[in-house]
Amino acid sequence: MSTVNTKSDHELMVAIARDANPGAASGNLAGMSEIYERRHRALFRFFFRLTGRQSPAEDLTHEVFLRMIRYRHTYTSGDLFEAWMYRIARNVFADHTKKHRLETPAAEGQLELVDSGRPSQLDSAAKQQDLALLHRALRELPDEKRELIVLSRFQGLTYEQMGRILGCEAGTVKVRVFRAMKEMGQVFHGLRKEKAS
């Protein structure tokens, strides 16, 4: 009977980090491919929602894994894998933003396709228009507010997890997410009125 590898991402990363230390074996990175298989889709969705573009989202996703390999020696058994990974992702996005400030975001409708990986079959044209307006409102937010919404609503992280990533208390994160959602709602309603007139 074959045994299935059920190591968590944390356990895999601890082993990868241990192998990166001087005097260790040749630096076993086999566990990284398993982490990649588990995490690359979530990271792609994270970056696509932040950039609004497929190609940069793919590039940024790959850059996260390259940095995870490059900085594997910084991972410790006391780290929480998801928080460590998203801290790297945030740094990758910040570097990208500095270089690519003037690029245009995805066209309306592209963001809806990312969620399922296939064209969505929405019940009505009105719902589709509202979704497009919501995504447009998300794109119009400042980067830090967009990031909060993407982490909490699309990546499904808890306020505690986000607090570890952002370096603040869960209560602070909750307030920031509330304010970002409120601002996105205002932008959405403004876009809706604009579309109706």
Q: Cα–Cα distance between 190 and 84 in angstroms, integer?
A: 37
| Pair (96, 135) in one structural domain | no
Please identify every stretch of the chain with a pLDDT value under 70, giving residue numbers as ranges.
Answer: 1-5, 20-28, 100-130, 197
Q: Say what the pLDDT of residue 58 is.
A: 93
Tell me: do 14 and 93 sit in the same domain.
yes
Predicted confidence at residue 120, as pLDDT, reads 42
Range of the domain at 169: 123-197
Q: Structurally, how many domains does the chain consist of?
A: 2
Give the pLDDT confidence of 63-80 residue by residue, as tens digits: 999 999 998 989 988 889
User: CATH number of the domain that 21 lies in?
Assistant: 1.10.1740.10
Last residue of a domain, one of 103, 132, 160: 103
What is the pLDDT, as a whole number, of residue 40?
93
Q: Is the pTM of this model over 0.75?
A: no
